[in-house]
Amino acid sequence: MKVGFISLGCSKNLIDTEVTIGKFKEHRFEIVNNPQEAEIIVINTCGFIESAKEEAINTILEMAEYKKKRCKYLIVMGCLVQRYYDELVKALPEVDLFLKIEDYDKMWEKVPFWDGGKKEPCSKTEKRLQTKNNTEIDGNTKKKIRKLPMFKEQEYLQRTISTGENYAYLKIGEGCSNLCTYCAIPYIRGLFISRPMEEIIKEAENIAKQGIKELIIIAQDTTKYGVDLYGKSKLAELLKKLCKIDGIHWIRFLYSYPEGITDELIQVVKNEEKIAKYFDIPIQHISDEVLKKMNRKTTKQNIENLLSKIRKEIPNVTLRTSLIVGFPGETKEQFEELYDFVEKAKFDKLGVFEYSKEDGTPAATMPNQIHHMTKKSRFNKIMSLQQQISREKMKAKIGTKQEVLIEAKSFDRKYVIGRTKLDAPDIDGVVYIKNTDLKLNKFVNCKITDFRDYDLVGETY
């Protein structure tokens, strides 16, 4: 049978999709890209914030239309299913199978299409046993949060990388134990679990053998890697070992929480040539009062000290962050404090989210919820400021020489498009080079000559 996949949400979700594609291939299913050809359609959903939930529901309904034609089975998996399983089963009878994250380790028991039937969901006894294991209590909400099972080592090794030859994501942990009051991830993905280091190294070696140029290390909080397995963070050690793998040209890691960035980690980034001089540090806010309400484990002073330390040790570093505006109770003065901080800190890259009130999170029941128009206004102010900062940063790059990885051609075919080592795929800018003879998936030396908003323009030399 022919199977088509749609992956929504983050890169961590994408890896789950890639592993699932590998499992279907293992059982001799044919993978297709066109839903019109698919006899089975699998949708991996995101359920993180309201807009993601809406996108997931709309995609499910759109794909359900294909059941009137060639499609025989519609499978929905991922975060939305884990979070709203009972509601979805009732609301969407078009779906043949909803697959929870907690059932990924026995996925194939639930999708035995080769014998023509669908297996019933796991029994009440199985569910009770699953719920009993690995339970901890979130003191703020009195909810049970479990450690959910992960895919097995062999399943990661057999995943089908869908991002092409240039880069691949490498997941080093699952879930999150930080319990920020606005975030639903622990209730969806469970508490943080690290993968054993030897498994990660083996998968990275396998990726390198496929000729992939860049390795992107991901987890909800990469700085927590190893704490549960080895008693302390092992991110720095893991990065040094990954740098020894032949074939990998660039390495970057995403989402490092400020309190987990150690001097050792900074030195590894500084001294290892393969590692991008790039930190993605989601600080979310700068007001101590707001940070405390968010249950963040840091302070304004600690954040400012950290940024100064990183820039002192690595003068050419690129710093990215993400912020939340309109958190419950955020006063005008607290927002202005955040605005002033952004103006002073001058991040190279910055993303802003309007606070999203998420079911089951402590922040959802906090008083003084902010009006959506106020949130939008604060969002626009920060983004307008960051656009000015970005223009200054981009202008300063004119005349610099950069190594660029060529990834695509522009729609008008007048340019090739690439990335520098200081730009992560999908979230950062690109470089346009007016030399269409350049081959894709190759590195070139480039001199920056101009910029366009968040992108650069260059020429080879």
pLDDT over 70 (residue 308):
yes
Given the candidates 3.30.70.60, 3.30.750.210, 3.30.110.40, 1.20.1260.10, the CATH classification of the domain at 134-253 is: 3.30.750.210
Cite the residue boundaries of each domain of the chain with CATH code 3.40.50.12160. 2-131
Q: By mean pLDDT, which of 3-7, 137-141, 309-313, 345-349 is the weakest?
A: 137-141
Question: What is the β-pairing status of strands 135-138 and 143-146?
Answer: antiparallel
Cite the residue boundaries of each domain of the chain with CATH code 3.30.750.210. 134-253
pLDDT over 90 (residue 307):
yes
Contact yes or no for 226/197 (Cβ under 8 A): yes
Q: Which of 107-116, 124-133, 297-306 has the highest mean pLDDT?
A: 297-306
Q: By mean pLDDT, which of 48-52, 195-199, 319-323 is the weakest?
A: 48-52
> Per-residue pLDDT averaged across 126-136, rounded?
37
Q: Does domain 401-460 have CATH number 2.40.50.140?
A: yes
**Residue 294 Cα distances to 237, 240, 297, angstroms:** 30, 33, 9
Whether the model clears a pTM of 0.75, i.e. scores above it, the answer is yes
Instruction: Say which DSSP state 343 is in.
Output: H
- Residues β-bridged to residue 366: none
Cα-based torsion angle of the residue sequence 34, 424, 275, 214 in order, rounded to the nearest 10 degrees:
20
Q: What confidence score (pLDDT) does residue 49 get?
A: 87
**Residue 206 Cα distances to 105, 277, 335, 405, 440, angstroms:** 22, 25, 46, 21, 22
Given the candidates 3.30.750.200, 3.20.20.70, 3.40.190.180, 3.40.50.620, the CATH classification of the domain at 277-396 is: 3.30.750.200
Q: Which of 45-49, 137-141, 332-336 has the highest mean pLDDT?
A: 332-336
Q: Which two tokens stand for residue 262?
A: 């150690």
Contacts (Cβ under 8 Å, ≥6 apart) of 110: 97, 99, 103, 118, 119, 121
Task: Give per-residue pLDDT as tens, 93-117.
Answer: 999 999 999 998 778 887 756 444 4
Q: What CATH code is assigned to 2-131?
A: 3.40.50.12160
CB-CB neighbours of 368 under 10 Å? 9
86 HSE (CA, 13 A, CB side) = 0
Contact yes or no for 291/304 (Cβ under 8 A): no
Torsion sign, CA atoms 260, 263, 264, 266? positive
Cite the residue boundaries of each domain of the chain with CATH code 2.40.50.140. 401-460
Residue with tokens 């639903």: 184
Rounded to 5°, the CA angle 183-186-191 comes to 145
Task: Give per-residue pLDDT as tens, 370-390.
Answer: 999 999 999 999 999 999 999
Q: What confidence score (pLDDT) does residue 131 get?
A: 34
Confidence of residue 141 (pLDDT cuts 50, 70, 90): very low
CB-CB neighbours of 359 under 10 Å? 12
Cα-based torsion angle of the residue sequence 27, 28, 32, 35 in order, rounded to the nearest 10 degrees:
-60
Burial of 346 (0-12, 13-18, 19+ CB in 10 A): middle
Q: Which two tokens stand for residue 346?
A: 């001058």
Confidence of residue 127 (pLDDT cuts 50, 70, 90): very low
Q: What confidence score (pLDDT) does residue 413 get?
A: 86
Cα-based torsion angle of the residue sequence 242, 235, 190, 128 in order, rounded to the nearest 10 degrees:
70
Contact yes or no for 448/434 (Cβ under 8 A): no
Q: By mean pLDDT, which of 107-121, 154-168, 263-277 is the weakest?
A: 107-121
